[in-house]
């Protein structure tokens, strides 16, 4: 069998990150690179077909076309799902038993970026340590055996199937006619939300539903407070019951209560856990170690089993499978569901909140008040020259005073009325600090003291 070199221009290896491929279109990530990665993925995975979805970025159609050409030139069929959310791509792979999938997206990054997320059968993620490094090495080598025949392209739209699947997590008949503001940030939520709300008795007030990879209104990155301002203002202006903003590929969701206050990932985890434990008493639920202590307390109070995990989707998904956990939540707006092939879905988390507000017949702020009894700093990054040295210095300084010192992911020190976690970044010489305390004064004092120590 002859081998063919695919490209004269070498691929930039820096586009291969820990969990995905990511780069600036036309500079690091080109159509030529996408074609070569398509061939490399098809060769490495050795599967008969690969499902491909894409978001609304300006470069996504060209990248998807090049990737699909690479897949089919390597003799593998490509199922072209067209425009999808990332969680819809995971759903398609799980539901229709595709042996692999690729999503063309750069999630919440600015418009000039794009990328690819890979998964195997049952939506199991492919990261650098579970196959992406091998795909990278094949792509960098650029030598591919010529297949006996080319693959076919099959077009398929799974959006209605995905909407039905997401709605199956709630009892639609229990949803009240609530007024709901959704900020799609010109991202993929603008495509899927009108299809979802067709099945709900709610009034949908859309913000920025036009798919537009220029992101003319604000970046589709709701984890940044400035990108939540529009949905907060609109909720107050129209007297909505709640609101939510989604990121560009619509797999992350950030809700807003009826007063326009942003609900953080810890409190969403608590509310979703509450909802699911009523339906599945005694279930196991995972939470990452920088989520509020109020989360495991609630899970245990309701008779569930709370399991603490490292930060990061590959750890959480693997542990959920191992423990048959029904749900996993992260501070960052990622929410994972067992009955969604352990993949994350901002849409499913949002629907569960909508159902909970309806059943309880109380405003969202009232549902959160008894759970939100502590004060969190949010994640604060500091650039340091010696990551490991600084972690050890923190243990030396604070360890003797702590009730416990834990090294599951960086270091977590618990002092009873407050705790902190410091963990290194995967990709940069950064330390990430999270502090939670019983009062605002204590949290702010400890946060400032720790930052001064870390940055000294």
Which pLDDT value is given to residue 4? 61
For residues 245 and 237, is the Cβ–Cβ distance under 8 A? no
The C-alpha R_g of the chain, in whole angstroms, comes to: 22
For residues 281 and 275, is the Cβ–Cβ distance under 8 A? no
Which pLDDT value is given to residue 39? 98
Two structure tokens written together for 360: 């309880």
Q: How far apart are CA 140 and CA 143, in angstroms?
A: 9
First-to-final CA distance of the chain: 61
**What 3-state class would DSSP assign to 9?**
coil
List Cβ neighbours of 325 (8 Å cut-off, separation of 6 or more).
283, 284, 285, 286, 307, 319, 338
Count Cβ atoms within 10 A of the Cβ of residue 364 and give its class: 0-12 exposed, 13-18 middle, 19 or more buried.
Answer: buried
Residues 429, 262, 415, 412, Cα dihedral to 10°: -30
Taken as a whole, the chain contains a residue count of 456
Q: How far apart are CA 207 and CA 187, in angstroms?
A: 11
Which pLDDT value is given to residue 416? 97
For residues 182 and 337, is the Cβ–Cβ distance under 8 A? no
Two structure tokens written together for 177: 């006619």
Two structure tokens written together for 124: 């199991």
Place of tokens 């270091």: 411
Known active-site residue 107: yes
Closest to 49 measured CA to CA, from 74, 79, 73: 79
CA 243 from centre of chain: 19
CA 141 from centre of chain: 31
Two structure tokens written together for 33: 């690179």
36 to each of 15, 75, 236, 384, how far by Cα in Å? Answer: 13, 14, 49, 37
Counting DSSP H helices and E strands in the chain, the numbers are 14, 23
Bridge-partner residues for 78, per DSSP?
A: 50, 153
pTM for this predicted structure: 0.95
CA 232 from centre of chain: 22
Two structure tokens written together for 419: 């705790």
Residues of the chain under the 50 pLDDT cut: none
Catalytic residue among 107, 221, 266, 345: 107
Q: How far apart are CA 344 and CA 275, in angstroms?
A: 17
CA 89 from centre of chain: 13
Which pLDDT value is given to residue 426? 76
- Stated as kind and residue range, the H or E segment containing 336 is strand 335-337
Two structure tokens written together for 120: 């195997």
Number of other CB atoms surrounding residue 129 within 10 Å: 10
Place of tokens 């098809």: 42
Q: How far apart are CA 282 and CA 302, in angstroms?
A: 8
Number of other CB atoms surrounding residue 324 within 10 Å: 10
């Amino acid at each position: 069998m002859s081998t063919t070199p695919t490209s004269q221009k070498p691929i930039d290896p820096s586009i291969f990150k820990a969990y995905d491929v990511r780069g600036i279109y036309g500079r690091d990530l080109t159509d030529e690179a996408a074609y070569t990665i398509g061939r490399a993925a098809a060769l490495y995975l050795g599967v008969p077909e690969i499902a491909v979805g894409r978001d609304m970025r300006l470069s996504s159609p060209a990248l998807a076309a090049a990737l699909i050409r690479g897949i089919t030139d390597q003799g593998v069929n490509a199922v072209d799902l067209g425009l999808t959310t990332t969680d819809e791509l995971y759903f398609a792979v799980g539901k229709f038993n595709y042996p692999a999938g690729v999503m063309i997206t750069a999630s919440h990054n600015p418009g000039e970026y794009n990328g690819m997320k890979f998964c195997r059968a049952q939506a199991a993620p492919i990261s650098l340590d579970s196959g992406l490094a091998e795909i990278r090495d094949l792509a960098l080598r650029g030598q591919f055996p010529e297949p006996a025949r080319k693959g076919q392209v099959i077009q398929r739209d799974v959006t209605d199937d995905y909407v039905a699947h997401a709605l199956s997590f709630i009892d639609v008949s229990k949803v009240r006619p609530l007024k709901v503001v959704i900020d799609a940030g010109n991202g993929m939520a603008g495509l899927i939300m009108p299809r979802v709300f067709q099945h709900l008795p709610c009034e949908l007030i859309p913000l920025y539903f036009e798919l537009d990879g220029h992101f003319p209104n604000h970046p589709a990155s709701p984890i940044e407070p400035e990108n939540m301002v529009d949905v907060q203002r609109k909720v107050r202006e129209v007297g909505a019951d709640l609101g939510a903003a989604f990121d560009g590929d619509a797999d992350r969701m950030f809700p807003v209560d009826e007063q326009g206050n942003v609900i953080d990932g810890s409190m969403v985890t608590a509310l979703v856990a509450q909802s699911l434990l009523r339906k599945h008493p005694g279930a196991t639920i995972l939470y990452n170690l920088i989520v509020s202590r109020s989360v495991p307390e609630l899970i245990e109070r309701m008779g569930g089993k709370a399991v603490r995990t490292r930060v990061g989707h590959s750890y959480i998904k693997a542990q959920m499978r191992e423990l048959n956990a029904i749900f996993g939540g992260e501070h960052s707006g990622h929410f994972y569901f067992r009955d969604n092939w352990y993949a994350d879905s901002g849409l499913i988390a949002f629907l569960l909140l909508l159902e909970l507000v309806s059943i309880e017949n109380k405003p969202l702020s009232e549902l959160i008040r008894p759970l939100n009894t502590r004060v969190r700093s949010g994640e604060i990054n500091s650039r340091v020259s010696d990551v490991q040295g600084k972690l050890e210095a923190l243990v030396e300084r604070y360890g003797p005073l702590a009730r416990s010192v834990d090294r599951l992911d960086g270091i977590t020190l618990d002092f009873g009325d407050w705790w902190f976690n410091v963990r290194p970044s995967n990709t940069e010489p950064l330390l990430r600090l999270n502090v939670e305390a019983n009062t605002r004064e204590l949290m702010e004092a400890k946060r400032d003291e720790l930052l001064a120590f870390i940055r000294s």
